[in-house]
Chain A
């Protein structure tokens, strides 16, 4: 069972780049690394997913080293609206047809003006 470890909280200021690192030492060969964002009293929302190297989309970048034992979510120029909990997950295949995601406690990112 691949478990993830990430900081409980981080603080930042508007306009800064934020990097949240997650460790997943027991990641399996077929596992993907995925990040979700959750605002209070809402369901989590998919941000980005990767397998190795670097992935970039319109909201974030994901850096994954060659050994895949860790990953870093990078949020460029954060704003107040980026204040949320960010979850790092390692996707598990269960029965070949369903993703059984393991959510940790996440990282609470607080962006200040």
Chain B
């Protein structure tokens, strides 16, 4: 089955600890994205990557870091510098063609709770 997976589904961490959220896709997509969603709100873009070994900050990148060493993987690290990390985190991917609109495919999400 082709798709995008995120793990774990639920994650609990103590305040001040860094935590890494996993995102893997086997759709052969070039572009990958990380979003954050707070209760009753829309999605906000944290980071995105157009190609391996390249990534760009989104609208709310402070306190987060990413890497894109492999096409299939785009892990997100929530650092202790992120002031309000408790949220629902969504990873997505798209074909990333040079022109036109590409549908984004979303993973099931990781709900992070910082205690």
Chain B residue with the shortest CB-CB distance to A44: B106
B88 to chain A, nearest CB (A): 7
A36 to chain B, nearest CB (A): 8
A106/B103 in contact, CB under 8 A: no
Instruction: Report the interface size for chain B: residues with CB under 8 A from the other chain.
Output: 32
Chain B residues near A34 (CB-CB < 8 A)? 101, 103
Chain B residues near A95 (CB-CB < 8 A)? 50, 56
A91/B101 in contact, CB under 8 A: yes
B31/A99 in contact, CB under 8 A: yes
B42/A46 in contact, CB under 8 A: no
| Residues 83-115 (chain B) with a chain A CB within 8 angstroms | 88, 90, 92, 94, 96-99, 101-109, 111
- Asked if A97 meets B97 with Cβ closer than 8 Å, knowing A42-B108, A45-B106, A46-B104, the reply is yes
Taken residue by residue from 79 to 113, chain A's Cβ proximity to chain B (1 for < 8 Å, 0 otherwise) reads as 00000000100010111111111011110000000
Chain B residues near A93 (CB-CB < 8 A)? 99
State the majority secondary structure of interface residues on A: loop
Chain B residues near A106 (CB-CB < 8 A)? 42
B99/A43 in contact, CB under 8 A: no
Chain B residue with the shortest CB-CB distance to A92: B101
- Asked if A101 meets B88 with Cβ closer than 8 Å, knowing A87-B42, A95-B50, the reply is no
Chain B residues near A45 (CB-CB < 8 A)? 106
Chain A residues near B43 (CB-CB < 8 A)? 44, 101, 103
- Asked if A99 meets B45 with Cβ closer than 8 Å, knowing A41-B111, A43-B109, the reply is no
